[in-house]
Amino acid sequence: MAHKKEEQDFQAYLKLIEAGQPAEKILADIPEQAHHVRAELEAVEWLEHSRGLLEPRPGFVTASRKRLKTRLETPEGRQVGIWRSRWLVRYRSRSYGLAQSPVILAVLLVMLVGMIVQSGRVLAHSAPTWLPGDFLYPLKETGEHLSLLFSLSSEQRASRHIEFARQRLLEAQSLVFEGRYEEIAGAATDFSEHMDAALRTINQISRKDLVTARRLAGLLDVTLSQHNQLISTLVQACPDTARQDLQRVLAVSQNGLLEMKRIIDPGNSNASILTWELPLLAQKAAVLGD
């Protein structure tokens, strides 16, 4: 409270100085406080005097008003929309220097994109324990989508689809172990989509770069082979509702293996399945499984 009173008194002294009263007279009237406020009141008095040194030249305001009116009537004087005007007042030149250079802005943008891509990759690859139906699972999906979005080449995109297909297989297995059969359908669908995309991309690559296509096909072959045996076993342990979904996974996987054989070993006439027939084959396999 005492501090507030002192502040109010000080503001009153300032008003007296602004009105033209000398600081010495004010100080003489407040002998108890003079020692505390003398320095500041003398500084204020000096500033008030300095104010007179900064007045504009006679006639400046009138002449510049006319110039300004002329400028306001040109395209330069167009009033902008609300959001741009708030940016003009609030954000422009908030701190002069670094953020305004186009080069530095471009660098910051590249860094931001890099952070987003890296975050996506971290989310996609560092959350293997998140399963469909988990609270944070959408983050994992978002990370995968970002990772695919920022793929720099067809090869990279195909590799990522293969990895995400592998993730879906792992998730399907975990779901069976945990008895969460209702979530397997989603994992199976995602697996089919990633497989389809991987095969389509590898086929496109095979038209221009057979060596890379074969390498990717080999990667997919290894991935599917590692999991197919386990999934075949799990099919037997599932209730009927989940068995259909797992059989769909198996069918897609096996057809993918055949397609990869065709790419790896083109002379083999047994491998003639076209990639866009895979979803239809998966459906047939599901029906046959019943």
Partner 1 sequence: MSDHSPVGEHELIQKARSGDTDAFGRLYEANAPAVFRFLYAHLDDRLDAEDLTEETFLRVWQALPGYREQGAPFGGFLFRVARNVLYDHYRKTRRRPSITLDREWPDDQQADPAVSVPEQLERREMHRVLDALREDQRLVLSLRFLAGLSPEETAQAMGRSAGAIRVLQHRALAAVRKLLVGPEEAQSGAQKGRAGFPGVSETD
Chain residues binding partner 1 by CB under 8 A are 7, 11, 18, 22, 24, 35, 38-40, 42-51, 53-57, 60-62, 64-65, 67-69, 71-73, 76-86, 88-90, 92-97, 100
CB of 22 to partner 1, least distance (A): 7
User: Based on C-alpha coordinates, what's the Rg of the chain?
Assistant: 37
The distance of closest approach from Cβ of residue 109 to partner 1 in the complex, given in angstroms and rounded to an integer, is 20
Between 93 and 229, name the residue whose CB sits nearer to partner 1.
Answer: 93
CB of 110 to partner 1, least distance (A): 23
Whichever of 43 and 122 has its CB closer to partner 1, that residue is: 43
Q: For residue 129, how many other CB atoms are within 10 A of its CB?
A: 11
Quickly tell me which residue has 């007296």 as its tokens.
16
- 269 burial via Cβ count (<10 Å: 0-12, 13-18, 19+): exposed
Q: How far is the CB of 5 from partner 1 (least distance, A)?
A: 14
For residue 121, what are the contacts with CB-CB under 8 A and spacing of at least 6? Answer: 143, 147
Q: At 203, list the tokens.
A: 């086929």
The CA–CA distances, whole Å, from 36 to 3, 14, 16, 159, 229 equal 13, 14, 17, 75, 88
Nearer to partner 1, 2 or 287 (CB): 2
Specify the amino acid at residue 34.
A
Q: How far is the CB of 214 from partner 1 (least distance, A)?
A: 57
Nearer to partner 1, 96 or 135 (CB): 96
Q: Give whichever of 74 and 272 is closer to partner 1, judged by the CB atom.
A: 74
Phi, psi of 6 (to 5 degrees): -60, -40
Cβ of residue 75: shortest distance to partner 1, in angstroms? 11
Q: Of 23 and 172, which CB lies nearer to partner 1 in the complex structure? A: 23
For the chain, report the end-to-end CA distance as a whole number of angstroms: 84
